[in-house]
Amino acid sequence: MNPLGIIKNAIIKGGELLGMNTGLDSIIDDPRIALPADEVSRIRLAKRYYQNDLTPYKLINSYGERIDVPVQSLNITAEASRDLASLMFNEGCSIKINNDANAQLVLDNVLKQNNFIENCQRQLQRWLALGSGVIRPVVSNNQIKLSWASADQIFPLEVNSNDVNDICIAFRSSKTEGGQTIYYTLLEFHQWINGGYQITNELYRSTDPATTGAQVPLAMVDEYANLTPKITFQGNIHDQLFAFYRNPSDNNVNLSSPMGLALIDNCQSTVDALNRANTELFWEMKQGQRRIIVPESFLGKENLKGMPANAQNKFNPHPRMYDPDTMVYQVGYGLEDDTIKDVTSDIRVDEFDSLIQHYLSQFENQVGFSQGTFTATPSGIQTATEVVTNNSKTYQTRSSYLTQLEKTIKQLVKAIMSLASVPELFDNGQSLWSGNVDDLDISIDFNDGVFINKEQQRTDDLQVVTAGIMPKVQFLMRNYDLDENTAEQWVEQADEENAPTPSFDNMPLGSSDFETGDNDDQEETNTNTSNDDQSS
């Protein structure tokens, strides 16, 4: 055994002496976790559908043998979650703290360093498919980093269908040690205990991927060596240091579970039927290739390699008559020498296409998408404008999902600012921000440009401005994405340029300008008269 292996074994044995060898067959065996086993199974099944990891069909071939037929899946759950994620969140989303400029600078820096916009859309797709997700900020090397987890890594510590305040997040990794694959699981517990917020880190080691294993010191894995086993915040933390997301639909599978319902949960039978129809169409196409049965005499021995010797002896040896890549001709035993039969079967494309469209339509209804999202309606695939015009289910579904996502992002902002306000977490002993998290005015704009016709909105808003109901500053901010200061400058400059120019035609008689003009004329008249007198 190499020196590193000896040291690690010594650490494990030391942990056993300290009572750290508590074994967990499964994470939910920990008494602190309140997630039932059937919920774990439900989430694992949803993950398999999302990963397109489906059990092959057992079918019987022409010889009565049971064979495995791979599922030709359309992976509609991944496609639906991807489409919904792109409608919900895009690069146009803005997260603002309206009443604290310093907090905004800290937040912008954290989001930029963690590439939040790109990662959120990608992780959101997985959250939608599995039903739940978590973001948790952590201070590492004097920077606030964001870690993401999906439903299969989340284990609530209390049975409360209203909210999740205490949680366990699992992070799984594997390493090769001494030629053997070792599986490590880091369990991160977030708990409110005696008025304080406590985070506990525990590491488990196993040689079996199906079990969690025995608890070992954090130093067993280099990435976790600097983690504090337990840290408690007293008084300076008032909000949970993680943001929990769950799909808006009620968890009708387990009414007491706080976990969100996966996209597949209420439409599994429809997806199974859809995949079965697509699989049978695939095999219909494969078996529908051109096939012509010919007598044995049409083929020579050298064309029949791999056949039994007694079968090859039935053929007269002669040179190849066909391209060896030809798969059209097949031997028909017992046929007359002049008999040729075309046994090509028709492919029932129209029948299978109608069946697939039927199940796709059912899937659209069950997950809350408008008709025409995945299927072709009589008017064709609908555009985004048509979706809004028709008051579509897709728009309504998106709105309900956005409510949950907005709540999650606001929780994340509060968690980030809570960590930023704790000076002990940074090497220089200075916090990144000082303030009251509860006083922050957080607003999120998801940029509804996908659904809103901007030109129509601008036209409608202009009519409201003309009627004197909407301020010009709000009109510019809403339709041209200007901040308030820039919009006010636009309005002020426009007012100056459009100020009326004085006109003599509209001035009343007796004004100073007219009087000045009369005096000038009088002086010119007097001058002319004086010159005339001198001439005389």
- Is residue 475 within 8 A of residue 465, CB to CB? The reply is yes
pLDDT of residue 517: 47
Residue count of the chain: 536
Does 439 map to a domain?
A: no
- Reduced to 3 states, what is the DSSP secondary structure of residue 136? strand
509 pLDDT more than 80: no
Q: 475 with 384, same domain?
A: no
Q: 174 with 318, same domain?
A: no
Task: Name the domain boundary from 389, 421, 440.
Answer: 389
Bigger pLDDT: 384 or 446?
446
Say what angle helices 268-287 and 349-367 make with each other, to 10 degrees.
160
Does 58 map to a domain?
A: no
pLDDT per position as a tens digit, 428-445: 999 999 999 999 999 998
Q: Which domain holds residue 531?
A: 504-535
Q: 131 with 242, same domain?
A: yes
Q: 124 with 167, same domain?
A: yes
93 pLDDT more than 80: yes
Does 410 map to a domain?
A: no
Scanning 288-383, the segments in alpha helix (DSSP H) are 309-312, 349-367
> Side-chain half-sphere of 530: how many Cα atoms within 13 Å?
6
Q: What is the DSSP letter of 28?
A: G
CA angle 104-105-110, nearest 5°? 95
pLDDT of residue 286: 77
Q: 95 with 109, same domain?
A: yes
pLDDT of residue 47: 97
300 pLDDT more than 80: no
Instruction: Identify any residues that bridge with 445 across adjacent strands, giving them in sequence order.
Output: 94
Bigger pLDDT: 298 or 235?
235
Provide the Cα torsion 305, 308, 311, 317; round to 10°.
Answer: 30
381 pLDDT more than 80: no
Whether the CA torsion 316, 317, 319, 324 is positive or negative: it is positive
- Is residue 224 within 8 A of residue 200, CB to CB? The reply is no
111 pLDDT more than 70: yes
Q: 101 to each of 97, 183, 273, 515, how far by Cα in Å?
A: 7, 45, 54, 57
- Is residue 88 within 8 A of residue 446, CB to CB? The reply is yes
The three state secondary structure string of 321-348 is CCCCCCCCEEECCCCCCCCCEECCCCCC
Q: Which two tokens stand for residue 333?
A: 């035993």
pLDDT of residue 337: 59
Q: What is the DSSP letter of 161?
A: S
Q: 144 with 48, same domain?
A: yes
User: pLDDT band at 302, cuts 50/70/90?
Assistant: very low
Question: What whole-number distance in Å separates Cα of residue 520 and Cα of residue 534?
Answer: 22
**Phi–psi pair at 94, nearest 5 degrees:** -125, 135
pLDDT per position as a tens digit, 17-59: 444 546 899 999 999 999 999 999 999 999 999 999 999 999 8
Task: Name the domain boundary from 364, 389, 414.
Answer: 389
State the residue for tokens 């049971």.
Answer: 66
Does 252 map to a domain?
A: no
Range in 336-340, 491-495, 522-526 the model is least confident about: 522-526
Does 11 map to a domain?
A: yes
Q: 216 with 294, same domain?
A: no
pLDDT of residue 19: 47
Provide the number of structural domains found in the chain. 4
What one-character-per-residue DSSP string does 176-209 give? EETTEEEEEEEEEEEEEETTEEEEEEEEEEESST
State the residue for tokens 């901010």.
Answer: 477
Chain-wide mean pLDDT for the chain?
82
Residue % of the chain over a pLDDT of 90: 52
pLDDT of residue 312: 46
pLDDT of residue 480: 83
Question: What whole-number distance in Å separates Cα of residue 533 and Cα of residue 115?
Answer: 93
Does 510 map to a domain?
A: yes
Q: 204 with 125, same domain?
A: yes
278 pLDDT more than 70: yes
What's this model's pTM, rounded to 2 decimal places?
0.75
pLDDT of residue 292: 72
Q: 359 with 284, same domain?
A: yes
Q: 12 with 108, same domain?
A: yes
Does 429 map to a domain?
A: no
pLDDT per position as a tens digit, 145-185: 999 999 999 999 987 767 899 999 999 999 999 899 999 99
What average pLDDT score do residues 91-100 get? 92
- Reduced to 3 states, what is the DSSP secondary structure of residue 31? coil
What average pLDDT score do residues 412-423 get? 96
Strands (E), 210-268: 213-216, 230-233, 243-246
Q: 282 with 216, same domain?
A: no
Find all residues with CB under 8 Å of 527, minimum gap 6, and list them.
Answer: none
Q: 80 with 109, same domain?
A: yes
529 pLDDT more than 60: no
User: pLDDT band at 244, cuts 50/70/90?
Assistant: very high
Task: Name the domain boundary from 373, 389, 405.
Answer: 389
Element (H, E) at 133: strand 132-140
- Reduced to 3 states, what is the DSSP secondary structure of residue 416? helix
Does 419 map to a domain?
A: no
